[in-house]
Structures are given as C-alpha cells and as structure tokens.
Amino acid sequence: MRHKLIAGNWKMHGACADNAALVEALLAAERLSGVDYAVLVPAPYLAQMQTLLTGSSVAWGGQDVSEETKGAFTGEVAASMLREFGCRYTIVGHSERRQRHGESDSLVAAKARTALAYQLTPIVCLGESLAQRESGETAMVVRQQLAAVIETLGLEGLARIVLAYEPIWAIGTGRSATPEQAQEVHALLRHQVAAESQMVGDNLQILYGGSVKAANAVELMTLPDVDGALVGGASLVAQEFLAIGRAAAGAR
C-alpha cells in the first residue's frame, strides 16, 4: 500500500512569525495514519524548520537544488546544505523554474540525481502547458519529461523519488485538473515506469499538484493513482492544508 504525501510548496512566501504560527497549527493537529506531511520552504527558513520540526511527524525540504555539489555557483543551494539543515525532500523541476529559469528536462534529471546522491528525496515535477493540452500533446510531453528522469536515474534511482504531476494551467489558477484528467495522466506515468519495473511502478508515489484545496481534495485524493498532493496556495492556510490531509487519509 502506497503512503500518501501531502507536501506544501510555500513558494516565495513566508516570514518568521507567520511560519511559526503555521507550523504550530500543523503540529497541533491529530496524526493521521497513512498520511505524511512535508513543508517545502524558501532556503532562508530551513534552519527555522529544523528548530521547529525536528522530532515531529512533519518533514521539511527545499524548493530546488543545484545539480552541482559545490563551487562558484552564486545563488544556488547545494544538496549537502539541504541535508545539513535536516531536509528530507527537495522539489526539482517545478514549472516556475522550468519556465522562468529555462530548466531543461535533462537539467531537472541531473538535479534529481544530485539530490539522491545526498540522500534527499527529490519531488520531481512535470506537466504540460495549456497550449500543449489543447493541441493534444499532454501524453507526449509528460512521457518525454519522465523519460529524461528514467534515463538519468535508472531503476535504482527511480525507486527513491516522488513524482508530481502538475499541469501548468492548473497552478495558482483556481482551476484544478478534473479527476478524469488527473487519473489519466497519473496512470500513464505509472505505466511508463512499470514498463521498466512493475515493482517500482507499483510503489512510485505520484502526487497531483495544481489548485488543490479543501473543496476539491476528496475527489482528487480518492483517485487510484494519486498518492497525495503538492499544494501551493492552500498550504499557507493551516486549516486548508490539514483538510487536504484528512481527505487523503479518508482515501486509503
């Protein structure tokens, strides 16, 4: 049975006092069996998360990692640094980075490889644009994005990642994928991995991301191939985020 993961992508939001209040509310909530929580925070707040969350059931992580391990790479964050601040996860390949920073499929795969080398679990994001969906290219686009990951990581690496399907047109728009759209892509991604190894495919955690909120969490979290959510806006509101977790727990 795959566990569900509810991961909050805070993006470039936060302030020490607000973070503390949000995390306190998460820690005060009941622990649900079969559901793991994580918060993915701006790098300057990793130390705060380490202080507040060590020993709790909420994991934390970064929102990106360098494919390089150290050196003259101004502004980048190394996997070893994320480890030093207790991170379990890091996002790689979020569409906001693919688009704004020109990150290619192969760069994203390289970042995932570096994360794994430092015992971090990369949450590898992929997904199609609206134009690609409207021209019927969704399957081709996501398959290609996943193929780069499979090629770089191999089966051993694939067994240690989390995948997140995030249709770009659903991110921050209030318009999530329909359950049918989400399930179709999740099943397709799982089959692509299962073609390499049935066991790795069966065990792969695939999160859905894109306007997940309390109001649509039940219909999305009950889908057979959806193993949790990567939550942006709603992760900044404790009650919303926790409600998504409850929906995922009920879906087991």
Annotated catalytic residues are: 94, 166
Cα Rg of the chain (Å, integer): 17
Mark 192-211 with x for binding to ligand PGA (rule: CB under 6 A) and - for no binding. Answer: -----------------xxx
How many other CB atoms are there within 10 angstroms of residue 27's CB atom? Answer: 15
Amino acid at residue number 105: D
Question: Which segment (23-31, 139-147, 226-234, 237-245) binds ligand PGA by CB under 6 A?
Answer: 226-234
Q: Where are the alpha helices (DSSP H) in 14-165?
A: 16-28, 46-53, 79-84, 95-100, 105-117, 130-134, 138-158
**Interacting residues with ligand PGA between 112 and 171 (CB under 6 A):** 166, 171
For the bound state, the minimum distance from the C-beta of residue 141 to ligand PGA, rounded and expressed in Å, comes to 17
Question: Which segment (30-38, 77-85, 100-108, 230-238) binds ligand PGA by CB under 6 A?
Answer: 230-238
Structural element, H or E, at residue 180: helix 179-194
For the bound state, the minimum distance from the C-beta of residue 172 to ligand PGA, rounded and expressed in Å, comes to 4
- Write the CB contacts of 44 (distance below 8 Å, at least 6 apart in sequence): none
For the bound state, the minimum distance from the C-beta of residue 139 to ligand PGA, rounded and expressed in Å, comes to 21
Residue 212 sits in the site that holds ligand PGA (CB under 6 A): yes
Q: Give the distance from CA 117 to its chain's centroid.
A: 18
Return the number of the residue (65 or 212) whose C-beta is nearest ligand PGA: 212
CA distances from 221 to 50, 52, 150, 166 (A): 29, 28, 25, 14
Under a CB-based contact definition with an 8 Å cutoff, are residues 134 and 167 in contact? Answer: no
Question: Which segment (56-64, 74-82, 177-185, 228-236) binds ligand PGA by CB under 6 A?
Answer: 228-236
Question: How big is the site for ligand PGA, counted in residues (CB under 6 A)?
Answer: 13
Residue found under tokens 């990951």: 149
For the bound state, the minimum distance from the C-beta of residue 171 to ligand PGA, rounded and expressed in Å, comes to 4
Using CB under 6 A, list all residues that contact ligand PGA. Answer: 9, 166, 171-172, 209-212, 230-234
